[in-house]
Amino acid sequence: MTNPQLTKNLLEVIWSLPYEDRRWLLEQLGGEAVDLSSKDLAELTQAGQAFDDLAQEPDLYSFSDGEPVVAA
């Protein structure tokens, strides 16, 4: 089991590091800084709770807004 506050604090510190330091840290942990999967990034985001306040935001747009985008 993890400590959510500790995880959040660690992620804040890690993300505050310069890119090369983050890359070095991930290499030390056995990962690749440039090859994080979408799942890994989603887990980091959820653990960091950086976007939790967006749950309180109203839905401003719907699928009926605007015009559809068509690939050329």
Question: What confidence tens digit (pLDDT) does each residue in 37-59 have?
Answer: 788 777 777 777 777 888 888 88
Is there a domain that residue 11 lies in?
Answer: yes
**Confidence at residue 22, expressed as pLDDT on a 0 to 100 scale:** 85
Question: What confidence tens digit (pLDDT) does each residue in 2-27 have?
Answer: 677 888 888 888 888 888 888 888 88
What is the reported pTM?
Answer: 0.38
Is there a domain that residue 62 lies in?
Answer: no
Is there a domain that residue 43 lies in?
Answer: yes
Is there a domain that residue 15 lies in?
Answer: yes
Is there a domain that residue 14 lies in?
Answer: yes
Structural domain including 16 reads 4-47
What Cα–Cα distance (Å) separates residue 34 from each residue in 8, 15, 23, 37, 55? 21, 14, 8, 9, 29
* 3-class SS string, the chain: CCCHHHHHHHHHHHHHCCHHHHHHHHHHCCCCCCCCCHHHHHHHHHHHCCCHHHHHCCCCCCCCCCCCCCCC
What total of structural domains would you count in the chain? 1
66, pLDDT greater than 70: yes
Is there a domain that residue 59 lies in?
Answer: no
